[in-house]
Structures are given as structure tokens and as C-alpha cells.
Structure 1
Amino acid sequence: MLLRAALAALRRVEPVIVLEQLGSTFFDTALQMVVRDRCANATDPGRSREDSQQKAMTDFFMTYNLILRLTPILPSLLLARLSDRGWRRAPVVSSLCGYLLSRLGLLLVVVFSLPLQLMLGAAALFGLSGGYSAFWSGVMTLVALRSSAGDRAKAMMRVELLYGLAGLVGSLVSGHLFQLYTASLGHGTILLIVGTLLNLLCLILAIVLLQVKHVSSEEPEEKSLLPPTSSNATAVEASVSTNLVNIVLLFVAAFLYDFAVGGAIGMLGPFTLKAPLSWSPTQVGYGNAAGCMIFLTSYIGVILFRRCISDEAMILIGMLSFASGIYLMAFATTTYIFYIARILNLFALIPLPTIRSLLSQQVQPSSCGTALTLLQLTLKFAGLAYIPAFTKLYQNTLDWFPGFIFLLSSIFTVLGMIPISILGWRSAGGKCHVRTQGGKQPRCHLEEVPAGTSQTGTET
């Protein structure tokens, strides 16, 4: 009986997420420290040694991250089509192959002292496998299919929680593992070996045991696209138009928020490695762990908020949380101020999972994989914009105000709150409509309401 329960648990998507994130946190810490060590002797005319090192690091990560976002565009779309045609595991398995190969690439760079530029090829290989966009949209599609519309936001946030807790554990351990070495194995080798083995186990689990489960809903499949019972063609067209506008608002909000978050977090690593913070590998791991704690606090926030406020209001709370924390980060000159800023970010991960939940309820289940992949690709395009913009701005403000990029990130977060506010207003207005029957006075009644609310008008 116990063996059957364990096997059933291993057939779910959660173990895959945990193992992948553990391997990824090990890889991220190792890559950050390897790049720092390789750029230690960089020189740039007119710059100090530290500023030259910062420029070399950020230039590498800019190129690396641009490759990560450009190469998966077409492969992830093809994998999404395969997913919607019944091959639901294809995006997950394909991207996990890329994860494994990129980890092996960094391990070879460290063991054989190969040029760091080989990691750019590893990034391209990872992107051609579908990359993170294919993996995460594939995971979220599996979660969406196995959950009802009312529980979808909670189910997606639960996955984010597991992802964050795995990252928390991995981050706490990674800094210590990086410093373990022997006479034959240098710094970071043991960390990368463990991370690679975790990714290999994750891939085997996804190929052999991962199960696709579809929980049917009592609600009609066309719920988000058509009104419940209407023979009026004009009303049908108005309903479709309304939902299309909602989808556009969700995409715009996701783009702006990811632009703000990605741009700021991308520069947070180099920011903590320079004076006055000057973090060690252990402190880098602890800092990453603080970021992963936000997964837990965001999940708690969803549990607390979902029954008393709308999904749109939850998104606004999360955006406000990030805007306030990243604003303080601009003035972080000591480690304790850094952690205070991260504490203010405690609900910063609520927006994107909730946006995904709302989006999945605006389309038919047969198109869910494609819709979520398109959203993930929208975030990729946001990355193509913020990576060079924030990198160059950070390099040009190193001398007078390195935290300026965090102020800019806070501004873009506030801009992202505008489309969500419009969506909330539209959703509140759509809960009630006026209907005239015979000569009676118009009366207000509840009908099918926008995503994120139930037919009784209460938040799901």
C-alpha cells in the first residue's frame, strides 16, 4: 500500500519540479561564481579593476541570457502544438534534455578549464530543446488540466511553492558545496556533479513515470468564450470581444511586470558581488535562498487572499510588494538592508501564476498549452528588451548610482498595475447586466462572470 502511494506520488509533476529546481539552483550558483572568477582579471580603459570585472560579467550574462531567450521561440511553439495534440509530456521531456546537456557543459568547462564562451553554445543547445519557456508552460498545462477552474490559481501557486522551497534548500546548500574540493577536483566541481545527477534523475522520472491526468469540469468547455445561453449573435460577438480584450490586458500586464522583475533580478547578482556588499559564495547562496522564500510567502498570501478578494486584487498586491521592495534595494549598502528589501517582496510571486490562471480560463482546454506557451514567449520577448537595456544602464551608472536600475524597475512595476486595474474594473462591471423582460423594469442578475470568479459572484 505504501509502495503504491509512493509510486502514485512519483507519477505526478511535483517531483519533476523539485528535482529540476534543485539542479538549477546548484547550476546558477556555480555559473555565477565561475563567471566571477574568470572575469577577475578583466581590464577596461578608464575603469577601475572592480568596474572592469562588473562590465565583463554583465556583458557575458547579457549575451548568455539573450541566447537563452532567442533560441527557444520556435522550438517551444512546436512543442506546444505537440502538447495540444496529445503529447503533453513532450515540452517537459525535451526541455529537461536541454537542462542536462547545459549542466554537463559547465561541468566540462570547470573540469578541463575550457573557455567560458563554450557556455554560450550550451545556452543555444538548451534553447533549441525548448528551454525554460517550454518546460514551465508544459508543467503549467499539466497542472491546469488536472485542476478545476475554481482551484486553478491555488494549484498553480502550490507548484510555485514547491519550486521555491526546492530552490530554498538548493540555495542554502549550494554555496557550501561550491567550496568543497579535493586535490583532483577544484572549486565547484562537486556542486556541478551533484546538480547534473539530479537533472539526470529528473529526466528519467519524466520519461518513465510522469502521468498526464485530465480532471473534467462540470463547466462547459466554451465557458470563457460564449455566454451561457444566448441566441443573440450580437451578444455572442460582444462576449468574445470582451474576453479578447481581457487576454490582451493580461499579456500587457505580464510583459510589463516581467520586464521590471527580470531586469532588476538579472542585475542583482553582479550588484551583490561588488562593493560595498562584496558577497562570498556562501552569502550568494543565502541571498538566493532569501529569494526562494518569497515562493512560500506568496503561496501563503494566495491562501489568505483568494477567498476575500479578487484575483485582480491579488495581482495588484503582489506588484505593489515587488515595487516597494525593489525601490528600497536601490539604496542597499549593507547586507541587512538587502534582506529588508527582500522581505518587502514577500508577495512578489503572486502576479504571474495568477495571470496564468486567469488566462487558462479564457481559452478552451484544447488550446491551453498554446495559450500558456504564447504567454511564456511574451515573457521571453520582455527579456530580449530588458536584458540589454538594464545591462547597459547598470554599466553606465556604476560610478554614480548603481541602484538606479532598481528605481526604474519599480516604475515599470507601477505601470504594470494599470492594465490589471482596468481588467478588475471590467470584471466587476461584467458580473451584472441589465435585462428587460416585457414591460418590466430592468433588473440586475448574475450570469457567467469573467475568469477568477464563480457563478455566485464570490471569488474562487
Structure 2
Amino acid sequence: MSNLCVAALAVLRQIEPIIILEQLGSTLFDTAVQMVVRDRCANASYPDRSREASQQKAMTDFFMTYSLIIRLIPILPSLLLARLSDRGWRKAPIVVPLSGYLLSSFALLLVVIFSFPLELMFGAAVLFGLSGGFGAFWPGVMTLTSLGSTAADRSKAMMRVELLYGSAGLVGSLVSGHLFQLYSSSLGHGIILLTVSTVLHLICLIFAIILLQVKQTCREDTEENYNLLFPTPCNSPVVEAAAGINKMNLVLLFAAAFLYDFAVGGAIEILGSFVLKAPLSWTATQVGYGNAAGCGIFLTSFLGVIVFRRCVSDVTLILIGMVSFASGIYFMTFVTTTTMFYFARLLNLFALIPLPTIRSLLSQQVPASSYGMILTFLQLTLKVAGLAYIPAYTKIYQNTLDWFPGLIFLLSSIVTVLGMIPISIVGCRIARRQPYERIQEE
């Protein structure tokens, strides 16, 4: 029994339980906010627009403002937390954002219980942003993952984290719609769902403060021997390599990440509203199942990494993931039934491979003392992409809603193809440099 307790405590001191609890709480919150906004916008009315078009405009306007706030406000807090992380406070980018998640869930719970104006969530979004939000939390998670793995296994380790994140999201999404429908004479729709979400975030925060332990592998493993882009000689310091030729590859990797996130984020931003309108007109349960299908891609992407990494490079892995998303989101352009929707999602099997692999490549170009900053800069780059695609996609969707609502998905497919260009250039640079490096090592 004592051995079991020790083993259980060792598991609880890892980052994985926090990832699972946070994602469970967040998926419940995501379904709740989506359905609450739909209900509150049901009676929206705009001149020269049908009732459904007015509801879609009100919903997308709310999500546009809400999303812009939670992407713009966290920029400075994320940088500050990244700086604290690289100075030894590795838990700061995890603990502080988790308090923001807790406040957001609690705020929406109050909105539902007391019928407060929906605009109160804008204030909650500001508090969430000041805590660093996802832009600080996820780099913090990836930093701990990088520190706890060797460079040779880092892509696999990061994809394993994504798998846990997606699996928790899958479970949370499957039950979220059913929990939203639970109510009694004293509890309306969504209250039970949001109560569970708030409790999960509270437990997650307690775990992070009290139990989370930071582990670090040997610096020789993490910084010298496994540079995937440019293998360096044993007597050549990796910092010099990273400071030289690799700068161009860092720029190309950041550009690819920006374009890919622009395409993926823009499509997903609109997808939540798209499925609530005719001809799909999803219910809360169907919304949960749809979110679960999206989370299932974490599993298929992880399996893709396990299978493909044995025979292809990380650059090829990224290209496979981009092709998967481009094809699936192109098919989404013409979706008119729920069956067609799930087929489009099926084509996105490997769509989550690119960003974790890009993070892995980036982390191997800098010393361990800079992991937090480089990964946070990447996350901030994705936030800048969000500040661009949120208003752009929202306005395009609103203006094409009556004649071609799937146009934004077609645009996402085109931008994804553009994102393949800088990654292909990185691949060509690697192919040209590797023979030279082998000769130098000999």
C-alpha cells in the first residue's frame, strides 16, 4: 500500500495530471460559452437581415471581441512570465494562468445563475488575459516537457503531451453537451456543466501550486548532441551553431507557424458558429460530439508521429500535417450535412502534427536557459496571427453568409498551402547542409 501511495504521489507531481484537468475544465467551459451565447443572441435583429443571419452576426461579433481580448491582453503578461520561467520560476507560467481559467469559469457561472449581461464575459476575458492565458500556460507546459526530455525524443514527448491534452478534450467534449442539458426547477441549463468546470479548474490550480515538480534532464543531452536541423561536432558548442546559420531557419519556422495558425485558427473560429446555423443546426449534444471529433485529431496526430517519425524527417512530418488540414478544410467548404462534416474532420487526421513539431525544432536551436522565452515568442506570434485572422475571417463570413458561407474554409486551405513554402525551404536548407556537416564531423 505504501508503494502504491508513493507511485500515485509521483504521478500527481508530474505535469500530465494538470494538463488533463485543465483541458477537461476548458472543454466543458467552451461548450457552455458556445451555447450560452447562442441562447442570448437568439432574438438579435439587424436591418436587412433574416433572423438566422442576425443571430449569426450577433454571435460572431461577440466571439470576435472576446477572442481579440484574450489574445491581445496576455502579450505582456506572457513575456513577463516567460522571463520569470527562464530565471528559475518554472511553475509561474502554469500557476498564474490557471487562476485566470478559474476566474473565467466562475464568471460565466455567475452570468448564467444571475442572468447577468453577457458583456460581463469581456471583463472576465481581461482578467484571463492579465493572468497570461493560454499564451503563457502552453509555453510553460512545453518548457517543462523540453526540460524533461532529450532532444532526440522531444518531438515524441511534445506530441505525447498533445495526445493527453486531446484525449482529455475528447472525454470532456463527449459529456459536455449532456451536462449542459441537465437542469432542475432551481438550476437552469448550463449551471451543472459550469459548476463541474469551475471545480476542475480549482483542483488543477491546487495541484499546480502544491504538487507540481520541475524535472530537468542532463544539459549535455538537451543542448549538444541531438540538433535535428544541423548536427554539430562534439567539440563545437551548440550555442555558436544556433547563433549562426540557424537564424534563417528560426525565421522560416516562425513564418510557417504564423501562416498555419492563421489558417487553422481562422477556420476553427468560425466553425463554432457555422454548425449552429442551417442546414446543420446542431444541438448542445451535437456540439459536444463535434468538439470531441476535433479532440480526436490529437490521438490520430500522435499515432501519425509515432509511425512516420521512423522513416521521415521532422520537416516531412510538418508537411504531412499541413496537407491533411488543407484537404479536410477544403472539403468543409461544401459541407451541408452532419455526415459530410465528420468526413471533413476525418481528412484532418494529422492536422495537429505541425505546431508541436515546429516547437520541438525551435527548442533544439537554443540553450535550455532560453526555452521559456523562445516558446513564448512562438506563442505570441500565434497570438499576432489571431489578432489578424479573427476580424478578417469574421467579416468575410458575415458578408458571404447568404451566398457562400464556406468561403472562409476555402481561404484557410489556400493559406495552409502558402505555409508549406517556408517549411519546404527549411527542408532544402537541411538537405544542402547535411553532407557538409558529415564531412566536418569526420
Give the TM-score category using the shorter length.
over 0.9
Structure 2 CA distance for partners of 1:46 and 1:13, relative to 1, 3 Å: same
Deviation at 1:220, TM superposition (A): 7.4
Cα deviations by residue, 1:387-424 (Å, 9 ceiling, x for unpaired): 00000000000011000000000000000000000101
Structure 1 unaligned blocks of 5 or more: 435-443, 449-460
Larger-Rg structure? 1
Of residues 293, 296, 300 in structure 1, which corresponds to 2:296? 293
Is 1:186 the counterpart of 2:188? The answer is: yes
Q: Secondary structure at the match of 2:101?
A: helix
Partner of 2:400: 397
The percentage of counterpart residues that share the same residue type is: 73
Partner of 1:445: 439
Conserved 8 A contact 1:149-1:361: yes
Q: Partner amino acid for 1:228?
A: P
Structure 2 CA distance for partners of 1:90 and 1:239, relative to 1, 3 Å: closer
Conserved 8 A contact 1:145-1:215: yes
Is 1:254 the counterpart of 2:257? The answer is: yes
Cα deviations by residue, 1:210-254 (Å, 9 ceiling, x for unpaired): 0000011444736669953679x9xx9787332001100110000
Conserved 8 A contact 1:330-1:406: yes
Q: Secondary structure at the match of 2:223?
A: coil
Conserved 8 A contact 1:226-1:239: no
Partner of 1:138: 140
Partner of 2:244: 241
Partner of 1:431: 434
Structure 2 unaligned blocks of 5 or more: none
Conserved 8 A contact 1:252-1:416: yes
Deviation at 1:427, TM superposition (A): 1.1
Conserved 8 A contact 2:149-2:222: no
Partner of 1:99: 101
Deviation at 1:428, TM superposition (A): 1.6
TM-score, reference length from structure 2: 0.96
Partner of 1:451: none
Deviation at 1:122, TM superposition (A): 0.3
Q: Secondary structure at the match of 1:62?
A: helix
Conserved 8 A contact 1:329-1:406: yes
Count of residue pairs the alignment pairs up: 437
Deviation at 1:431, TM superposition (A): 1.0
What does residue range 208-223 of structure 1 map to in structure 2 within 5 Å?
208-219=210-221, 221=223
Conserved 8 A contact 1:226-1:240: no
Partner of 1:416: 419
More helix by share: 2
Once residues 304 and 10 of structure 1 are traced to their aligned partners in structure 2, the CA distance between those partners, rounded to angstroms, is 29
Of residues 157, 160, 163 in structure 2, which corresponds to 1:161? 163
Structure 2 CA distance for partners of 1:237 and 1:299, relative to 1, 3 Å: closer
Q: Partner amino acid for 1:318?
A: G
Partner of 1:439: none
Once residues 337 and 430 of structure 1 are traced to their aligned partners in structure 2, the CA distance between those partners, rounded to angstroms, is 44
Is 1:302 the counterpart of 2:296? The answer is: no
Of residues 12, 15, 28 in structure 2, which corresponds to 1:13? 15
Cα deviations by residue, 1:104-149 (Å, 9 ceiling, x for unpaired): 0000000000000000000010000000010000000000000000
Structure 2 CA distance for partners of 1:362 and 1:186, relative to 1, 3 Å: same
Is 1:360 the counterpart of 2:363? The answer is: yes
Deviation at 1:96, TM superposition (A): 0.1
Once residues 152 and 220 of structure 1 are traced to their aligned partners in structure 2, the CA distance between those partners, rounded to angstroms, is 9
Q: Secondary structure at the match of 2:282?
A: coil
Q: Secondary structure at the match of 1:46?
A: coil
Q: Partner amino acid for 1:34?
A: V
Q: Partner amino acid for 1:76?
A: S
Deviation at 1:336, TM superposition (A): 0.3
Partner of 1:36: 38
Deviation at 1:62, TM superposition (A): 0.2
Of residues 104, 108, 111 in structure 2, which corresponds to 1:109? 111
Once residues 115 and 380 of structure 2 are traced to their aligned partners in structure 1, the CA distance between those partners, rounded to angstroms, is 34
